Amino acid sequence: MLRGLTTITFFADDMAAARSWYTQVFESEPYFIRDVGPEAAYLEWRTGDYQHEFGLLNTRFAPHRPTGRPSGAIVYWAVDDVEAAYERLLALGATEHDKPAERGPGFTTASVTDPFGNLLGIMYNQHYLDVLAARHG
């Protein structure tokens, strides 16, 4: 049985720049760093209500991916204000992928391409909030 996501891993060629950018996004330093040689091979943050793990892997260790295009699945992170989060990510250097749009009552999404070619989604999701409220009664 699937029990939920544990770690999502994105990729970056410039790990120093990626560390700096995601430290700003998450407003914290990575808690786990694995160096291979003079640069980071893997960085990991814990973030959000359930302290999910977000990892960054140096692309030299990544499976093949097409160059010049965002790749992978879009993982949506829960936010309280999609417009504000979207504008903040753009101000930090991300580029537009999909502008904020209501997808139904209680569900608004947007996505950006981070400076390293990964798709990053954000979502206001009433179901997420309902589950969170039920768990924390």
Which one-letter DSSP state was computed for residue 106?
A: T
How high is the pLDDT of residue 50? 85
Is the predicted pLDDT of residue 70 greater than 60, yes or no? no
* Tens digits of residue pLDDT in 25-57: 999 999 999 887 778 889 999 998 888 899 999
Contact 40, 61 (CB under 8 A): no
pTM above 0.75, yes or no: yes
How high is the pLDDT of residue 132? 81
Domains and CATH numbers, the chain: 1-60 (3.10.180.10), 73-137 (3.10.180.10)
How high is the pLDDT of residue 64? 60
Contact 59, 13 (CB under 8 A): yes
At position 98, the amino acid (one-letter code) is D
Q: Averaged over 87-116, what is the pLDDT?
A: 93
d(CA 136, CA 55): 27
Closest CA to 121 of 92, 99, 104: 99
